[in-house]
Amino acid sequence: MSLDKATVRRIATLARIDVQEAELEPLAGELSAILGWIEQLQEVDTSAVAPMTGGTDAALPWRSDVVDDGGQPEKVVANAPDPQDGFFTVPKVVE
Amino acid sequence: MTSLTALTIADARDQLAAGKVSAVELADAHLAAMEKAADLNAFITTTPDVARDRAKASDTRRKKGDVGALDGIPLGIKDLFCTEGVLTTAASHILDGFKPPYESTVTAKLRDAGAVMLGKLNLDEFAMGSATITSYYGPTKNPWKAKGSSVDLVPGGSSGGSAAAVAASLCMGATGTDTGGSIRQPAAFTGIVGVKPTYGRCSRWGIVAFASSLDQAGPMTRTVRDSAIMLQVMCGHDPKDSTSSAHVVPDFEAVLKQGVKGLKIGIPKEYRPDGLNAEVSALWDRGMGWLKEAGAVAVDISLPHTKYALPTYYIVAPAEASSNLARYDGVRFGLREPGKSLDEMYAKTRAAGFGAEVKRRILIGTYVLSAGYYDAYYLKAQKVRALIARDFDQAFEKVDAILTPTAPSAPFGIGERMDDPVAMYLNDVFTVPASLAGIPGASVPAGLTATGLPLGLQVLTKRWDEETLFRVSQVIEDAAAFPRLGAS
């Protein structure tokens, strides 16, 4: 499997990582090498195998759907880059 | 009297109890050693004030006769654990200035047991790496050097700061995390003990997430007994992590001297590929010899899907990472790079904040989860993962434990193997299968290469059987008489 520059650009957009034009070609090479190596999985017959979807086969526990924490907006925004009045802020998203 | 920094946790516990030493003296001795060895770059942040405060409080508690299992013991914390009010970086630029308003469950348990935090230890950025060379804060050096050489070696990774600090006696023990070998491989590279417990033993709450179905916390110490003491405190059910188990936690220290008489030890043929390093291969044979002398029986076994473990891991782990690391968006914590639009702010922040290896893994993960490729890569990998887990299940019907080398080589030089990501990934060839299967594993220092560098042996057991893991590890430690750094 070999990735071209256009595909790397598309993945980078999906991942919200700004990639400069000059970085696309080397990245395509590195990612293609990794994917080429991963390709060997295709030779394994998995037709009768159920996927392992987590690190444990234990059933997930249930709990009551009640509020047991909260009411600390100062702590929640304490690490934000530019908090205002207990809110997170972002660049303008509506015109 | 032995130097205070050379004490094991078990020894220090006895001396504290006997009133021969105070927690403040222990903390001061370690803080001084840390300052002297700053050149190793083992710590990202040192916390001398926290350490002295906690040590004083410990000494006060002891006077009242009210002490916890680790009271007064100086520990280092991998900088992947959130620590209340103390900078937590995951060795990434993107978490600049992040001081968590909460404490991870594991470090809270250690703190509540009286442990004294000395500082936050270096690691590969977001725990992605096998050499502690991808940290935004620079590489950590291995305190070991080859005989007659001045070349700086890597301490392994990702818990390389933890490994280097414990090996150099800058702390008595440290927390590590292991996603594909990040406790065991650095333990082997620095001649210390590292234990990755069963997936679900330790709560992941408050540990910066890398690959949630694989991440597990564990202890890194200079002796098997010390790991048993530390793990005892670290594990247990936590309602805040739905995958943390309610399984009863046995008394690990109580089983250490039970020996291995009659135990069946599996030797998997797939872990001896053509061209395996001759010293690693010989050490493995020697290790099995020690276990036989102690009464265990060697059994040849096969784990047929072993060769697919690494490629499986490099789909599953990046996929989960790409999802987990979506939270670093410049809005709620850490770095923010300005942008004209919200999307531009996200993309510029993430471009500036993540290092090359982290970006590579996010991009791979995004690709294998993207429309049209999910079945071919991600679902396929989850199915092969099930086969790898089944290999172990079938093996443990015949054997009580499995013995393998921990890593395919001794530590290498800082700067080597950096051009080819796949070559770097091969460091974890022997540790990744157990991570995928969720079973416990330990690395025990077992010998030196001809050039005097440490090598480790890995012990694996079935899920929830850390007791057998510790028993086998203890026998190896007793037989190996490994020359600890600075002890000779």
> What does the pLDDT read at residue B266?
98
Question: B133-170: b or e for each residue (b if 16 or more CB lie within 10 Å)?
Answer: bbbbbebbbbbbbbeeeeebbbbbbbbbbbbbbbbbbb
Higher local confidence (pLDDT), B1 or A2: A2
Arithmetic mean of pLDDT over chain A: 92
Chain B positions in Cβ-Cβ contact with residue A41 (cut-off 8 Å): 308, 311-312, 315, 380-381, 384
Question: pLDDT per residue over A59-70, tens digit each?
Answer: 888 889 999 889
Chain B residues 262-321 within an 8 A CB cutoff of chain A: 305, 307-308, 311-312, 314-315
Arithmetic mean of pLDDT over chain B: 96
The structural domain count of chain B equals 1
The residue in chain B having the minimum alpha-carbon distance to the alpha carbon of residue A86 is B332
Q: Considering the domain boundaries, does residue B334 fall inside one? A: no
Q: What is the mean pLDDT of residues B65-81?
A: 97
Query: What is d(CA B340, CA A7) in angstroms, rounded to the nearest whole number?
Result: 25
Give the closest-approach CA distance of A24 to chain B in angstroms.
12
Instruction: Please answer whether residues B156 and B163 qualify as being in contact, where contact means their C-beta atoms are separated by less than 8 angstroms.
Output: yes
- Judged against a pLDDT cut of 60, whether residue A78 lies above it is answered with yes
Contact A41 B335 (CB under 8 A): no
Range of the domain at B211: 4-258
Question: pLDDT per residue over B183-214, tens digit each?
Answer: 999 999 999 999 999 999 999 999 999 999 99
> What does the pLDDT read at residue B1?
46
Give the closest-approach CA distance of A73 to chain B in angstroms.
11
Query: What is d(CA B238, CA B229) in angstroms, rounded to the nearest whole number?
Result: 19
Query: What is d(CA B369, CA B325) in angstroms, rounded to the nearest whole number?
Result: 14
The residue in chain B having the minimum alpha-carbon distance to the alpha carbon of residue A79 is B333
Give the closest-approach CA distance of A3 to chain B in angstroms.
10
Cα B482 to its chain centre, rounded Å, is: 20
Of the partner residues A35, A46, A75, the one whose CB lies closest to the CB of residue B383: A46
Q: Considering the domain boundaries, does residue B87 fall inside one? A: yes
Taking Cα atoms as reference points, which of B486, B477, B487, B482 lies closest to residue B224?
A: B477
Instruction: Please answer whether residues B99 and B120 qualify as being in contact, where contact means their C-beta atoms are separated by less than 8 angstroms.
Output: no
Q: Considering the domain boundaries, does residue A48 fall inside one? A: no
Q: Considering the domain boundaries, does residue B137 fall inside one? A: yes
Residue reference for tokens 């490729």: B373
- Judged against a pLDDT cut of 90, whether residue B346 lies above it is answered with yes
Question: Which residues is B447 bridged to in the sheet?
Answer: B455
* Of the candidate ranges B164-178, B337-351, B412-426, B470-484, the one whose mean pLDDT is the lowest: B412-426
- Judged against a pLDDT cut of 90, whether residue B59 lies above it is answered with yes
Query: What is d(CA B142, CA B165) in angstroms, rounded to the nearest whole number?
Result: 9
Burial of B423 (C-beta count, 10 Å sphere; 0-12/13-18/19+): exposed
Instruction: Please answer whether residues A51 and B385 qualify as being in contact, where contact means their C-beta atoms are separated by less than 8 angstroms.
Output: yes
Q: Is A6 on the interface with B (CB under 8 A)?
A: no
Rounded to 5 degrees, φ, ψ at B405 are -70, 155
Listed in order, strand segments (DSSP E) in B208-256 are 216-221
At residue A1 the predicted structure's pLDDT band, cuts being 50, 70 and 90, is low
Contact B363 A37 (CB under 8 A): no
Question: pLDDT per residue over B388-428, tens digit each?
Answer: 999 999 999 999 999 999 999 999 999 887 777 777 788 89
Residues in contact with B421: Cβ distance below 8 Å, sequence separation at least 6, in sequence order: A30, A33, A34, B357, B360
> What does the pLDDT read at residue B417?
72
Listed in order, strand segments (DSSP E) in B193-338 are 193-196, 216-221, 264-268, 297-301
Q: What is the mean pLDDT of residues A18-26?
A: 95
- Judged against a pLDDT cut of 70, whether residue B2 lies above it is answered with no
Query: What is d(CA A37, CA B377) in angstroms, rounded to the nearest whole number?
Result: 12
Contact B385 A3 (CB under 8 A): no
The structural domain count of chain A equals 1
Q: Considering the domain boundaries, does residue B251 fall inside one? A: yes
Q: What is the mean pLDDT of residues B33-52?
A: 98
Taking Cα atoms as reference points, which of B430, B388, B460 lies closest to residue A51?
A: B388
Checking B370-379 for CB contacts under 8 A at 24+ apart, the result is: B370/A11, B370/A14, B376/A42, B377/A38, B377/B315, B377/B319, B378/B315, B378/B316, B378/B319, B379/A51
Pick from B216, B329, B366 the residue to mutate for testing the A interface (most A CBs within 10 Å).
B366
Contact B340 A91 (CB under 8 A): yes
Grouping H, G, I as helix, E, B as strand and the rest as coil, residue B465 is coil
> What does the pLDDT read at residue B421?
76
> What does the pLDDT read at residue B453?
97
> What does the pLDDT read at residue B420?
75
Say whether the peptide bond before residue A32 is cis (omega within 30 degrees of 0).
Answer: no
Of the partner residues A49, A76, A77, the one whose CB lies closest to the CB of residue B386: A49
**Interface pTM, i.e. ipTM:** 0.95
In chain A, how long is the greatest CA-to-CA distance? 57
Query: What is d(CA B488, CA B478) in angstroms, rounded to the nearest whole number?
Result: 17
H helices present in B102-183, as ranges: 105-112, 160-167
Q: Considering the domain boundaries, does residue B325 fall inside one? A: no
Tokens at B342, concatenated: 């919200």
> What does the pLDDT read at residue B216?
98
Amino acid at B262: G
Q: Considering the domain boundaries, does residue B392 fall inside one? A: no
Give the closest-approach CA distance of A16 to chain B in angstroms.
5
Taking Cα atoms as reference points, which of B198, B227, B219, B289 lies closest to residue B475?
A: B289
Q: What percent of chain B is modeled with pLDDT above 70?
A: 99
Chain A residues 15-34 within an 8 A CB cutoff of chain B: 15-19, 27, 30-31, 33-34
Residue reference for tokens 């020359």: B483
Tokens at B434, concatenated: 């157990």
Query: What is d(CA B3, CA B486) in angstroms, rounded to the nearest whole number?
Result: 11
Q: Considering the domain boundaries, does residue B475 fall inside one? A: no
Q: Is A54 on the interface with B (CB under 8 A)?
A: yes
Q: Considering the domain boundaries, does residue A63 fall inside one? A: no
Taking Cα atoms as reference points, which of A38, A41, A58 lies closest to residue A49?
A: A41
Query: What is d(CA B101, CA A72) in angstroms, rounded to the nearest whole number?
Result: 10
Contact B213 A38 (CB under 8 A): no
* Of the candidate ranges A48-62, B359-373, B455-469, the one whose mean pLDDT is the lowest: A48-62
Q: Is B346 on the interface with A (CB under 8 A)?
A: yes
Range of the domain at A18: 5-41
Q: What is the mean pLDDT of residues B302-316?
A: 97
Q: Considering the domain boundaries, does residue A10 fall inside one? A: yes
Q: Is B39 on the interface with A (CB under 8 A)?
A: no
Rounded to 5 degrees, φ, ψ at B175 are -85, 145
Query: What is d(CA B374, CA A51) in angstroms, rounded to the nearest whole number?
Result: 13
Q: Is A66 on the interface with B (CB under 8 A)?
A: no
Amino acid at A74: E
Q: How many contacts does A have with B, using Cβ atoms within 8 A?
A: 164
Instruction: Please answer whether residues B100 and B359 qualify as being in contact, where contact means their C-beta atoms are separated by less than 8 angstroms.
Output: no
Question: What order do you get walking across the sheet with B173-178 strand by strand?
Answer: B43-46, B116-121, B74-78, B173-178, B216-221, B193-196, B441-448, B454-460, B401-405, B264-268, B297-301
Q: Is B423 on the interface with A (CB under 8 A)?
A: no
Q: What angle do CA B327, B195, B73 make, to 5 degrees?
A: 90
Of the partner residues B322, B330, B420, the one whose CB lies closest to the CB of residue A15: B322
At residue B488 the predicted structure's pLDDT band, cuts being 50, 70 and 90, is very low
Contact B334 A79 (CB under 8 A): yes
Residue reference for tokens 């006696």: B169
Contact B347 A90 (CB under 8 A): no
- Judged against a pLDDT cut of 90, whether residue B51 lies above it is answered with yes
Taking Cα atoms as reference points, which of B164, B244, B231 lies closest to residue B486?
A: B164
Q: What is the mean pLDDT of residues A8-27?
A: 96
Contact A91 B381 (CB under 8 A): no
Chain B positions in Cβ-Cβ contact with residue A46 (cut-off 8 Å): 380, 383-384, 387
CATH number at residue B128: 3.90.1300.10
Question: pLDDT per residue over B80-134, tens digit each?
Answer: 999 999 999 999 999 999 999 999 999 999 999 999 999 999 999 999 999 999 9
